[in-house]
Amino acid sequence: MKRYVLSVLVENHSGVLSRVAGLFSRRGYNIDSLSVGQTEDLHISRMTIVVRGDEYILEQIKKQLDKLIDVIKVMELKSEHSIYRELVLIKVQAIPDQRLAITGVADIFRARIIDVASESLVIEMTGDEEKIAAFIGLLEPYGIREIVRTGLTALERGDKEIKQRKKYEEE
C-alpha cells in the first residue's frame, strides 16, 4: 500500500477534528499520522493527514473529506514537490560518563538538548522520518526512556500556496 500525505484546510472551531476522524473510522480507513494547527488566518486550521492505500482509496478519502461542511480545501502533497517534517522529543538514559557521547550524536543530527536531569537528557529534533529513525537508532544503546512524535507536517515547495477558496472553485 502506498503512503499519501493530504493537506486539508478546515474551519477553526470545535468539533471539526472529531468529524474528520469520524469519517475515517466509519469507513475503516486508518490514519498513520495527523497533525493540526492554526494557519496565518485565525479562522482556518491546516490538517496534515498521512494515510495508506491505493489510488481508489485516496480518491474516496478526498471525496468524503470534501463533503464535510467544515472542510475548505483538500490537496495531496506529493513528496517530490513538498517538504515533510516531524518533531520528536526523546528522553534518553544519560549517566554522566555517557553525556559527551550523547551530545556528540545530537550535534551531528542538529538536535538540541532541552532538559538535563541527574540520569537523563531530553533531546528535541526535527527532520524527515528517515533522519529521525536513524537518530533513534543511534540513541537506543544508551537506553531510551520515552519518545513522543508530532506526526508528519508538510508544506508544498515553491511559490504555490494552498489558500482558502470557495469549496468548489476550480484550481
Per-position pLDDT tens, the chain of length 171: 899 999 999 999 999 999 999 999 898 888 999 999 999 989 999 999 999 999 999 999 999 999 999 999 999 999 999 999 999 999 999 999 999 999 999 999 999 999 999 999 999 999 999 999 999 999 999 999 999 999 999 999 988 777 665 443 444
Residue among 37, 32, 31, 41 nearest 65 (CA): 31
Matching CATH number, 84-153, of 1.10.101.10, 3.30.70.1150, 3.40.50.300, 3.90.870.10:
3.30.70.1150
Q: Could you tell me if residue 7 is left (phi over 0), alpha (psi between -120 and 50 degrees) or otherwise beta? A: beta
Q: What is the pTM of this model?
A: 0.83
The answer regarding whether domain 2-76 maps to CATH 3.30.70.260 reads yes
Phi then psi for residue 73, to 5 deg, are -155, 145
